[in-house]
Amino acid sequence: MVARMVIGLVLTVAAFAVAGRRLWWLQRLALSGQPAPERIAYAREHAPVELKTQLTEVVGQRKLLKWSVPGAAHAATFWGFIILLLTIIEAYGALFARDFAIPGIGRSAALGFIEDLFAVGVLAGIATFTVIRLRNDPHREGRRSRFFGSHTRAAWVVLGMIFGVIATLLIYRGAQENTGVFPYRDAGAWPFASWVVGKWLHPLGYGVNSVLEATFILGQIGVIMAFLVVVAYSKHLHIGLAPLNVMFSRRPDALGPLPPMRSGGKMLDFEEADPDTDVFGMGKIEEFSWKGLLDMGTCTECGRCQSQCPAWITDKPLSPKQLILDLRDHAFAKAPYLLADEPARESLPADVLAEAARPLVGKADVNGVIDPEVLWACTNCGACVNECPVDIEHIDHINGMRRHQVLVESAFPQEAQGMLNNLERKGNPWGMPEMKRAEWIGEMDFEIPVIDGVIPADVEYLYWVGCAGALEDRAKKAVKATAQLLHAAGVTFAVLGPAEACTGDPARRLGNEFVYTMLAQQNIETLNEAGVAAGTGKKVIASCPHCFNTIAREYPQLGGDYEVIHHTQLLSRLVADGRLTPVNEVNEKVTYHDPCFLGRHNKVYEQPRHVIASVPGVQAEEMHRCKGKGFCCGAGGARMWLEERTGSRINDNRVDEALALDPDSITTGCPYCMVMLGDAVNAKKAAGQAKETLEVIDVSQLLVRAIQLREQAPASE
Ligand code: SF4
Ligand code: SF4
């Protein structure tokens, strides 16, 4: 007994010392990042929200269970280990007393059964993981495997260790049955797995079972302690870090608005900011906040993000997983430099100094950590953030690095320069004259008031048309259809006409926070002067999901608060209230493409579908990738203004999926999507791969065909 106790305790102390040293190092590394006081303040002020999130995301495994088979396997393993904490107590107790039982509950048949049930559940979980990993072997599947780029060897080691934990547990319990010290010896076969193992071992006799009992109790403690060390030094760090990372993540998620720029934890004011002393985006690993560094340490390498990323799927070099792993590897390799004081840095090994000198963003010739092509391939579609089971905030990191590249290095794809110049000079990405914004109004056959100063008292909505809606021919049709429907429903609305400017979304998503702020402040002033701020009773209709997201969720960061509704939401309500009654049959097969900034970023999935479903005769069919798993059109993240030179085209990929349904129309609710999908459809038509009659239209254009309009006007033509 004494030897058993001494060995067990020595193993434990040694493992805690090694793992503790690593955890101490990790927390010092995380704290070398920028402060993020807003994360702590939010968690402190919203304790019930955080508690609920821990219960649903961590305990309930909500996001993991969205993928049913691997989710169930992970849940079985996770919950198994929670329950098996009790068996760890029992193993340690058995170091001091052979027949130790947890006081109060430790001899009940129910606990014996539950422990064995979860032990078997863990075995089933790791068997499932084994099959999943074999079927998705990156060596065979290449980029199609979500484990491509992950540290697969470490994953196999950990699966082996988990098996070791359960195997040693069941063997020592079985042996205990035969030596008469099993705490559940009076429970019969309720601890069923231990009972079965006990039956197998019984022929070996008391002596051998005594040796097995002692050996496998120590084996159990040894494997668990080794596991503790491996966890601290591997990707399985997420076991400890995931609850923390989830607790300090943005709520409700890291989609929708981009966070404002911060330096030293304070919001950056461009009037006072100094690029020599302030942090302008992320230009070095230590310019990420501690939450960013925590993200890097928490990544489980599951590859769910990678499997959904439109850039990765179309053979671009960007994988959101690989990006996080590259940042993590760099942070760990640079850590000795970051944690050393100035004089000590000079005497660091050459490889550490070389790592410290690597540019964060740069091509292979300058040994950059992140290739610029990776950085600029992101469409900000949000699929990665939506998938990530541990709430990693990929878009924030990508845009943080873009901000530095644009604002400090002036290094960004040059084809975007024209768009930025146009935004600065003309307030729209195409550089069209301001007066052109009002042209569509004159093409309508009813009056649309243009706000001159303050919105009229009897007008309920300000219709924010957006640059594409006012200036791009295809998007203009959607705007006209919406206006016609509003008019038909008796909704009072007015527009800003030439006084409207780009919301700044393309500049912000490109990383040019300066141009974004300039445009945003100008628009906030215009909207406030128009008297449509929140609380006035007036509302804003946005025809573009990017405008919708920016005005509703980003302008509040600059003091602009508005009640904003997307046009598909309003149309859905008007149909539901009977103010619009679709009566004309539209005998078409229709599929709906979810715009990322309406769907994933703002969770508007149902209303556009309600509108489509309300149209008589329409046969609506979903593409496989829809709603939360919708596939990007390729235009977000300012990609609308960048060339797509590598891999296949994202819009082609999406249209191919639609064509498999042979629809008559592809509907959507975003002008960017209309342009991107429309271009892909035109290319398919030219190649003879799509029927000539196939259209890409806005939901409003479909609805307008089904409405008996008060005044006959071909709005969607
Ligand atoms: S936001 Fe979309 S494109 Fe960008 S990394 Fe994530 S999944 Fe890929
Ligand atoms: S970032 Fe999230 S989804 Fe992607 S591999 Fe890491 S844990 Fe998985």
Chain position carrying tokens 């067990």: 8
In angstroms, the CA 479 to CA 441 distance is: 10
In angstroms, the CA 332 to CA 451 distance is: 56
**What is the reported pLDDT for 711?**
45
pLDDT, one tens digit per residue, over 362-406 is 999 999 999 999 999 999 999 999 999 999 999 999 999 999 999
How many other CB atoms sit within 10 Å of the CB of residue 71?
16
Residue 712, pLDDT > 60, answer: no
| Nearest-CA residue for atom 5 of ligand 1 | 320
**Residue pair 546/597 in contact by the 8 Å Cβ criterion:** yes
CA of 41 to the centre of ligand 2 (A): 26
In angstroms, the CA 619 to CA 626 distance is: 16
Print burial letters for 389-418: b (CB count within 10 Å at least 16), e (below 16). bbbbbbbbbbbbbbbbbbbeeeebbeebee
**Residue pair 420/507 in contact by the 8 Å Cβ criterion:** yes
**What is the reported pLDDT for 716?**
42
CA-309 nearest atom, ligand 1: 7
Residue 413, pLDDT > 90, answer: yes
CA-305 nearest atom, ligand 1: 7
How many other CB atoms sit within 10 Å of the CB of residue 510?
27
pLDDT, one tens digit per residue, over 622-669 is 999 999 999 999 999 999 999 999 999 999 999 999 999 999 999 999
| Span 333-345, average pLDDT | 94
Nearest residue to 53 (alpha-carbon basis) of 246, 239, 295: 246
Q: ∠ at Cα 189 (187, 192), nearest 5°?
A: 115
pLDDT, one tens digit per residue, over 640-652 is 999 999 999 999 9
In angstroms, the CA 546 to CA 308 distance is: 21
Tokens standing for residue 590: 């229709």
Instruction: Look at strands 539-542 and 619-620 and give their pairing.
Output: unpaired
Residue 713, pLDDT > 50, answer: no
Return the percentage of the chain with pLDDT > 70, whole number: 99
- The ligand whose atoms approach the alpha carbon of 303 most closely is 2
pLDDT, one tens digit per residue, over 207-239 is 999 999 999 999 999 999 999 999 998 878 888
CA of 570 to the centre of ligand 1 (A): 29
pTM to 2 decimals?
0.93
**What is the reported pLDDT for 715?**
44
Confidence grade of residue 2 (pLDDT, cut at 50, 70, 90): confident
E strands, 568-661, are 589-592, 619-620
Confidence grade of residue 710 (pLDDT, cut at 50, 70, 90): very low
| Nearest-CA residue for atom 2 of ligand 2 | 388
Tokens standing for residue 128: 């499932």
**Residue pair 621/590 in contact by the 8 Å Cβ criterion:** yes
Which ranges constitute the DSSP H helices of 314-349? 320-339, 342-345
**What is the reported pLDDT for 345?**
93
**What is the reported pLDDT for 709?**
55
The widest CA-to-CA distance across the chain, in whole angstroms, is 98
**Residue pair 701/671 in contact by the 8 Å Cβ criterion:** no
pLDDT, one tens digit per residue, over 111-166 is 999 999 999 999 999 999 999 999 999 999 999 999 999 988 888 999 999 999 99
Q: Which residues line ligand 2 (CB under 6 A)?
A: 299-305, 320-321, 324, 387-390, 392
CA of 558 to the centre of ligand 1 (A): 26
Tokens standing for residue 482: 């919406």
| Span 66-88, average pLDDT | 92
Please give the distance of CA 248 from its chain centroid, rounded to a whole number. Answer: 15
In angstroms, the CA 366 to CA 358 distance is: 7
